[in-house]
Homo-oligomer: A and B are copies of this chain.
């Protein structure tokens, strides 16, 4: 099938599918007659798989790893679980950072009356050169 159908079936954009072909992630056969990319059902499954993994925040590099595990029928579920746990840890780290950031920002906001006067504790705070992070 052509790229449009493959994109629709896998739930991706044509741009993404073409990009994945460019970076050798999912390489279709090339139709010699017209130069069109020709995708089969297996390719569509891989594309869908990647789409899901991307939704789970896996990078393209990680998708590549997952895909090779996905294609290897003798792979160990240990590696897959390891990748997943690492991703969870990453997310936890990000959550921690964002939570701290939110705390600091709301502290700033709480101290500012927002009453239209020129004095602003937020700007005052931002203008302090801080030596320690």
Contact = CB atoms under 8 A, between A and B. Distances in A.
- Across the A-B interface, give the 8 residue pairs with the lowest CB-CB distance, nearest first: A81-B114, A77-B120, A48-B129, A52-B126, A76-B116, A84-B109, A81-B112, A91-B102
A82 interface: yes
Tally of this chain's copies = 2
Q: Is the interface of A mostly helix, strand, loop or mixed?
A: helix
Interface residues of A, number: 59
B77 A126 contact: no
Contacts of A116: 76-78
A91 B97 CA distance: 10
A112 B10 contact: no
A102 to B, nearest CB: 5
